[in-house]
Structure 1
Amino acid sequence: MAKQVKPMVHMRIFGAAALGGTLFGLSTCGPKEPIQMNFSETQLTSAVQGHTIHNTQVFSKDGRWVVYDTRNDDNKIGSTGSIEIVNTETGEVRVLYQTTNQTGAGPGVGAATFSPTQDRVLFIHGIRNADASRPYGMTRRTGIGIDIDRPGEPIFMDARDIVPPFTEGALRGGTHAHSWSGDGKWISFTYNDYVMEQLAKTDTAISDLRTVGIMVPHPVEVGEDSTLENNTGACFSVVVTDVAEKPKPGSDQIDRAFDECWIGKSGYRKADGSWQVKAIAFQGNVRDNAGKTITEVFVVDLPKNPMKAGDRPLQGTPTSRPGVPRDVVQRRITHTARGIEGPRHWLRTTPDGRLVCFLASDKQGVIQLFGLSPNGGEIRQITSNDFSIQGPFNIDPTGGWVAYPADNSVFITALATGDTYRITDRFTDEGKPIGAPNWSPDGNAIAYNRYIGAGNNRFLQVFLLRKAD
């Protein structure tokens, strides 16, 4: 088991504008001299509402703001109406966007991320005509951008067109969990197709299969209609992973691609020595030799121009899903007996693109962090805790540390050595960290969620752990 140092904890609760906090002292003996690291904790938010941060990229490029939606429950995007930001220094809160005609069925907003290069936030937005008969759903959502100096002015990022003839560069369903590439130019997402979902109601051979897509800067015009189902977008959107209704057992075919990440800040070095500028690691559901579904790690290498069609139309047809662009290369990099296991999480890579990380069970059945090269090869176990990791994780900007929830606390682990430290109190089951701890762009702070209060006054709040001098 990796060495763990119990923090010196004198927990205090802070108002939204308070600074300072508890110091968690960490030390370990490395090969030459001890490493010292202290964190102070601040409660950034305190309003009587939810404050849900996304699984990644919640800090502004300068680290001054954290973005969140006002969900108090992860499953309530459809009934959530606002996106807000909180200042990490002063606790000031600003409302960036508020839906109109919000109901329990939609439109709904959530899962907000910050661009790493500009002051723009991107989030899920349900289709504008949402109501009880046409509720928010996996195939009925899109990506909306907001520049923080122009609150309330939505920018439709991905175009949507569900009426044939479909528009190249527009999709026909719902984009979700948007993530910016390291240069802030491309955006990845998971995707579900409305046209295939409707077709599946009358054709049992057809399914709406979750897949992964990207947006690249290139405006796409779609004719507006009175139903508000369609919209023009600032980006050209395509699906980049191949899925099949019935994967062949023992093959690399998948029927679901999901929970992806960009590889490296600017790509990775391939086995032949060449540099792959844009690539995505994702989770794919395969069938083992016995026909059982397991989840493995895949990589998709992307061409410099992903707007060229392959052997199928990029926009799809009335009876087929959107096609993958020309020169996209999809390959499997893990071949395990049991696949990825544990709580839902998104893959993450180091900034240099050398390591792709995921969760799985060790020999004792404990959920640990593992990693391997995007070129495949040997899988390395990174954590060796006596308890399971409880949620998604993130790697810091230096590529040296990973942060994650475990044993009702936030932990960090050195990727090179596996040295592991608890950096918060150990909370109760009701007050434990929720979701993924997020590192600031300079690596000096971590934002995370946990519930405060009880009963009808129990709300998800944002906390900041800041490295102290």
Structure 2
Amino acid sequence: MKQVTFSPRHHQLTNINTWTPDSQWLVFDVRPSGSSFTSETVERVQIHSGTTEVIWRAQQGAHVGVITVNPQLPERYVFIHSPENPDENWQYDFHHRRGVTVCGGQVANLDALSITAPYFPGALRGGSHVHVWSPDGQYLSFTYNDHVLHERDPALDLRNVGVAVPFGPVNPPLRHSREYAGSHWCTLVSRTTPEPQPGSDEINRAYEEGWVGNQGYLKPNGERQRYALAFIGDTRSVQGETIPELFIVDLPDNEAAWKTQGDAPLAGTPETMPAPPAGVYQKRLTYTHHCAWPGLVNQPRHWVRASPDGEHIAFLMRDNNGVVQVWLVSPNGGECRQLTRLAHDVQSAINWHPAGKWLGFISEQKIVMCSYPEGKILELTAPQEEISGDAVVFSPDGQFIAWMQPDEQGFRQIYICQTGC
């Protein structure tokens, strides 16, 4: 186990894509806590020398954080940016933030903003969050909250999942001082409703998404679905309880399809959320309402993760004894398979090793790997007194795994260890 950051401040890793493609640098922000968006810089650290570099420094009262790296060269970074010159009417919030990219020192807004009707297709009407490139480095996923509906009624501002595709730029007419242009065409790909029908596949929240496969996944007919996202959606049981289930959306692979309206306006209306493009429909993969412990877990917070070959989607759910375990399901649906048989809960977010033979996470305060398909546990560290479950992330070459834990002074530092594979 090796500590790679040492400064007297906190260091925050994102839950995936925190390594540069050469496996030499880790990116981070310096928030004092995961929920406090007050970092003025996003930075990177060289894992062997401990050298740190500032990638971007916010100005004009803005803050930045939740940085990820494009898995393909050239090195490109994306992160959340809060509003410049915040005031009492416009400050950082779920519906007031945007994605910003940096490549070769050049900075650009990822998503455009259009909050005056008629809204502009390809632009968002609110805030994007946790931007993650697809494995081929072409598309980006994000979670989304809507300013327009938030102004009408915060209860209508439902969390959704969106995608940014490189078919911009998007230049809406700037009729409000807070509107701006963006480099990518952005649309929502999930569909929510404020009051899901009990017992149905309707959801009122879509979140914690993950790309499916490095090259997508194979359908039962042998056809390859090139791009797809899995995510958690909050359903409602017949008893009225919120039960998180797993969903998937198949996505287009061409510009025309992304820009074709479906049964509702891509940009939304004053009364409705932006809608997915034509042909993009969410499909439910898990049906756990009948289980002793129904639903995917929200604690620990985790993001659903597909194996590199796209054959399995991993997620966390309790077993019949109430213990949080890793489960697998095919992107085509079917029975869920329990992978781990732990005596104690999985305590963190999860990620696949690049070779697809292991999953990494925290269990009993230790960094561990679980083998696939056997489900055997390999302990990489001794138990730690304190350890963060926010991120357990493999390097692209598979040789290292990174996480966070406090040092003796209580500052959250970044640590790595070798995986042995």
- Into which bin does the TM-score normalised by the smaller protein fall? over 0.9
How far does residue 132 in structure 1 lie from its aligned partner after superposition?
A: 4.7
In 1, are the aligned partners of 2:162 and 2:189 still within 8 Å (CA)?
A: yes
Which of 137, 142, 145 matches 2:101? 145
TM-score normalised per structure 2: 0.95
Which of 141, 146, 162 matches 1:213? 162
Structure 2 CA distance for aligned equivalents of residues 391 and 163 of structure 1: 40
Deviations 1:172-220 (A, max 9, x none): 000011111111000001100000100116xxxx611111000000210
Please tell me whether residue 317 in structure 1 is matched to residue 274 in structure 2: no
Deviations 1:157-182 (A, max 9, x none): 11111122211100000001111111
Aligned to 1:97: 56
Aligned to 2:337: 380
How far does residue 300 in structure 1 lie from its aligned partner after superposition?
A: 0.5
Structure 2 CA distance for aligned equivalents of residues 444 and 74 of structure 1: 27
In 1, are the aligned partners of 2:114 and 2:174 still within 8 Å (CA)?
A: no
How far does residue 353 in structure 1 lie from its aligned partner after superposition?
A: 0.5
Which of 206, 209, 228 matches 1:257? 206
SS state of the match for residue 449, structure 1?
strand
Please tell me whether residue 50 in structure 1 is matched to residue 10 in structure 2: yes
Structure 1 CA distance for aligned equivalents of residues 96 and 388 of structure 2: 30
Residue correspondence of structure 1 range 62-101 to structure 2 within 5 A: 62-77=22-37, 79-101=38-60
Please tell me whether residue 452 in structure 1 is matched to residue 404 in structure 2: no
Aligned to 1:20: none
Structure 2 CA distance for aligned equivalents of residues 160 and 329 of structure 1: 24
C-alpha change, 1:132 and 1:466, in structure 2 (3 Å) is: farther
How far does residue 145 in structure 1 lie from its aligned partner after superposition?
A: 0.7
Structure 2 CA distance for aligned equivalents of residues 47 and 120 of structure 1: 25
Which of 114, 124, 128 matches 2:69? 114
How far does residue 135 in structure 1 lie from its aligned partner after superposition?
A: 2.3
Structure 1 CA distance for aligned equivalents of residues 228 and 393 of structure 2: 22
SS state of the match for residue 97, structure 1?
strand
Residue correspondence of structure 1 range 63-462 to structure 2 within 5 A: 63-77=23-37, 79-102=38-61, 107-118=62-73, 119-147=75-103, 149-150=104-105, 153-200=106-153, 207-218=156-167, 219-224=169-174, 227=177, 229-304=178-253, 305-337=257-289, 338-341=294-297, 342-428=299-385, 431-454=386-409, 458-462=410-414
Task: Structure 1: give runs of 5+ residues left out of the alignment.
Answer: 1-40
RMSD: 1.5
In 1, are the aligned partners of 2:301 and 2:390 still within 8 Å (CA)?
A: no
SS state of the match for residue 154, structure 1?
strand
Task: Structure 2: give runs of 5+ residues left out of the alignment.
Answer: none
SS state of the match for residue 325, structure 2?
strand
In 2, are the aligned partners of 1:310 and 1:323 still within 8 Å (CA)?
A: yes
Deviations 1:68-103 (A, max 9, x none): 0111200111x211100011232210001111133x
Give the letter aligned to residue 80 of structure 1: S
In 2, are the aligned partners of 1:410 and 1:433 still within 8 Å (CA)?
A: no
Give the letter aligned to residue 57 of structure 1: N
SS state of the match for residue 90, structure 1?
coil
